[in-house]
Amino acid sequence: MLDNRTQIISYKHNGVLHRVWQYAYVIRQTSDMIVLVNDHTSVIDGDGRRWKTKEPAVCYFFKNYWFNIICMLRNNAIYYYCNLSSPYVRDAEGVKYVDYDLDVKVFPSGDKVILDRDEFDFNKLDYNYGDKLIAIIENELQILLRKIDNHEIAFDSNTVMKDFEIYKNLRRQLDRKRKKSNRPNA
């Protein structure tokens, strides 16, 4: 399954490209969720700026929730960055979603902070989100905050570490396979 490499592509509500992560590996998928891992991956912002992530991340995307969860593994701890977003879709280009500005950062201590409320307030007018969409996003924010408090989904560190172990084991298998294929014939 590790050869199942894909991009993560985010857009803004008006359809403009927001950001692309190259590449992430699909390590697990169910009917309503996909789990990807990226590790020091290249990122391209919508304005063309390029940078690399600083650490591995286990990423959870959902078909039934309007948020995604990025679990950054740093200094033997998990730092969470959650984007309020559309449910994901996947096509030949990658895993795609619309970023709706609001973010929640969760620290290893459990402290959390809601980010970019001002950006959301500006964009809901500028992009004309509409009352129904605004209500969905605000409701999903409350669902996300409850899941954080209840240590559900990726907010259980054991889940994140198990998924990261799957990735590491698959990487080792892939590396062994590559080494074998690069050996000269005897």
Which amino acids are annotated catalytic? 19
Under 8 Å CB-to-CB from 142, ≥6 apart: which residues?
none
Question: How far lies 116's CA from each of 35, 57, 107, 184, in Å?
Answer: 25, 21, 17, 55
The residue assigned the tokens 């240590």 is 151
Dihedral (CA of 136, 159, 36, 40) sign: positive
Other residues' Cβ atoms within 10 Å of the Cβ of residue 160: 22
